[in-house]
Amino acid sequence: MSEKVKVKNLSKVFGGNPKPALRLLAEGVSKDEILEKTGLTVGVNNVSFSVDEAETFVIMGLSGSGKSTLIRCLNLLNKPTQGEIYVDGENILEYSKDQLRQFRQQKVAMVFQHFGLLTHRTVLNNVEYGLEVRGVSKNERLEAAKKVIETVGLKGWEMKYPNELSGGMQQRVGLARALANDPDILLMDEPFSALDPLIRREMQLELLEIQSRLKKTIIFITHDVNEAFKIGDRVAVMKDAVIEQIGTPEEILENPKSEYIRNFVQDIDRSKVLQAENVMVRPTALASVNAGLKVAINEMRDNGISSVYVVDRDRRLQGIVTIDDAIKALKEKQSLKDILRQDYFTTEPETYIQDLIAKATDSKYPIAVIGEENRLLGIIVRTTVLSALV
């Protein structure tokens, strides 16, 4: 993937003259001490990170950690005190007013926590608003708005007003309005935190589904560790205006770099974070569908197992064979293809462990992890699923 956004040594200090605060930061003085000594508030302290194209990058932290200040620097709603922000290789801090306006209208869009809908406009008119500001013709913007309304699951609600919608539906309108401009980058500042838990989960899944189709670059702010790990390809954890750690959810869970991170993630439900691809293993034993019964029996004997998955030469899964069936078939002069079983469970690599618990409990065989064209990617044994919950 190519690098879409690069942030280098970014700091934001609120107050009249930031130089004393920057000097103290360089000396390692804490933001609380700086506030006490100078009256200046440090929002972001020397932050650096990059985001790949089509990546969902989550910035997570508690209230006051600096995460919302940081995301507002990325479209210059907050003007950074120092540092650089590159988008597609261009430092946006060097943009003229016209370049910045074009950047905000065409390349980046923001979705806010409290929707920000225009109450006197219908759903359709709210969604088309950004295109109207850009001077797009009425027919063109209405067509684009209708298309994106369908994308977020609101087809049929175009002529309703915001006060006729639930909170989740209003947030879908906010998301549709951002998508209508077809931006490269979506900035999402705690967009689901005002929603009740059930609707919030629905919107998380909706965002994952939309992202799988549209492949936008998303920078997402949240204080919820479960939400961060559910939707983020990578996660940055902030504390006191600095980034404590950046990594995939699995990396942060398995290798927390500080006591703060360790405490932050200790109560997370791992089954909602880890996916099949995180816990599967490549099978040490496989049988080729054309190899015959004796080869399959030898494979099971040599590996100390009582069943083995059978694949074709392209590693496409054909079935599973047990040692009892194989020995019986050998005596009765049957072929391997004659005794292939199909009573096993399969899953996709992106399936969360939480959704595999029932299968692991009921399955007689390892769960097969299947990729494109039914190719066998790996297997998950029952103990692996249950141990992931610990």
**Which residues, including other chains, have CB under 8 Å from residue 277's CB and lie 6 or more apart?**
349, 350, 369, 377, 378
- For 89, phi and psi rounded to 5 degrees? 85, 0
Would you state the pLDDT for residue 3?
Answer: 95
Among the listed residues 47, 35, 119, 106, the one whose alpha carbon sits nearest the alpha carbon of residue 75: 106
Instruction: Report the distance separating Cα 218 and Cα 184, nearest Å.
Output: 9
Are 3-267 and 278-387 equal in CATH topology?
no
Per-domain residue ranges for the chain? 3-267, 278-387
Among the listed residues 150, 176, 148, 151, the one whose alpha carbon sits nearest the alpha carbon of residue 162: 176
Among the listed residues 9, 33, 24, 28, the one whose alpha carbon sits nearest the alpha carbon of residue 81: 9
Would you state the pLDDT for residue 388?
Answer: 59
Domain 278-387 sits in CATH 3.10.580.10: yes
Would you state the pLDDT for residue 171?
Answer: 87
Sign (positive or negative) of CA dihedral 276, 352, 179, 4: negative
Predicted TM-score (pTM) of this structure: 0.75
Secondary structure of 334-356 in HEC code, one letter for each residue: CCHHHHCECCCCEECCCCEHHHH
Instruction: Give the Cβ contact number of residue 271 at 10 Å.
Output: 16
Would you state the pLDDT for residue 318?
Answer: 95
Would you state the pLDDT for residue 354?
Answer: 84
Would you state the pLDDT for residue 134?
Answer: 85
Would you state the pLDDT for residue 135?
Answer: 87
Domain 3-267 sits in CATH 3.40.50.300: yes
Instruction: Give the Cβ contact number of residue 267 at 10 Å.
Output: 8
Would you state the pLDDT for residue 387?
Answer: 66
Would you state the pLDDT for residue 270?
Answer: 73
Would you state the pLDDT for residue 254?
Answer: 85
How, if at all, do strands 3-14 and 82-87 pair? antiparallel
Instruction: Report the distance separating Cα 320 and Cα 74, nearest Å.
Output: 52
Residues of the chain whose pLDDT is less than 50?
none
